[in-house]
Amino acid sequence: MIALARRSLVFPVVAALLAAALGLLPGCGYSSGLQAPDGYTTVGVAIFSNDSKVPDLERNLHEFVAERVRDTVAAPLTTPDRADVVVQGRIIDFSRFAGTRGPDNELLESGVMIAVEDWLVDGRTGERLGSKVFAGQSVGYRIIETDGEEQSQARALSYLAEGLVLDLFARHSH
């Protein structure tokens, strides 16, 4: 019984030592995060302009974009005024759409559609780096959901932020 207990302790200890030893080896240059453009070490996210008629939509989008940059780009996130490269953009449109109707023509589903464009800007010169990225996202919801439109709007903004950050920074990652 004691031999079995010792053997069951050996594997976790050996595994922990092996993981620690591998952590000390020099890196091979591989990075799991997206990269900022060459020569830029920090990233900022400006609050997008909002051409839609929905107030504060840009603030909600800003939270999602900043979160995606922080989680996926291998460069520190900082304020736009201190960043080497800044994500800028605008919300082009927000619209609601009617979806599925029931047999008595009652509305069962609806949805929201949001269109956005963004780009990277050199934080020192203000010059745009590369081309703009355009994205649109539609998300539906069932009418019986009391907060369905708010949840659909949040999902659409989250999906947009993920796609926009991937499109902007994937071209700089090797």
| Inside any domain, residue 19 | no
Distances (CA, A) of 60 to 42, 106, 118: 22, 31, 15
| Inside any domain, residue 5 | no
CB 121 within 8 A of CB 85: yes
Confidence at residue 100, expressed as pLDDT on a 0 to 100 scale: 85
Determine the 3-state secondary structure of 162 from DSSP.
helix
| Inside any domain, residue 151 | yes
Compute CA 156 distance to the chain's CA centroid, rounded to the nearest angstrom: 11
User: Would you list the DSSP string of 66-123?
Assistant: HHHHHHHBSS-EE-GGG-SEEEEEEEEEEEEEE--B-TTS-B-EEEEEEEEEEEEEET
The half-sphere exposure of 71 on its side-chain side, counting CA atoms within 13 A, is 11
Whose CA is closest to 139, among 102, 109, 172? 109
Going by their DSSP bridges, the two strands 85-98 and 109-122 should be labelled as: antiparallel
Confidence at residue 174, expressed as pLDDT on a 0 to 100 scale: 57
| Inside any domain, residue 156 | yes
Q: What is the DSSP letter of 34?
A: B
Q: Which domain holds residue 118?
A: 34-170
Look at the block and give the residue holding tokens 């071209």. 171
How many domains would you assign to the chain? 1
Determine the 3-state secondary structure of 1 from DSSP.
coil
pLDDT tens per residue across all 174 residues of the chain:
545 444 444 445 444 444 444 444 444 444 458 899 999 999 999 999 999 999 999 999 999 999 999 999 999 999 999 999 999 999 999 999 888 888 988 888 989 999 999 999 999 999 999 999 999 999 998 888 788 889 999 999 999 999 999 999 988 765
Confidence at residue 107, expressed as pLDDT on a 0 to 100 scale: 83
CATH (domain of 108): 3.40.50.10610
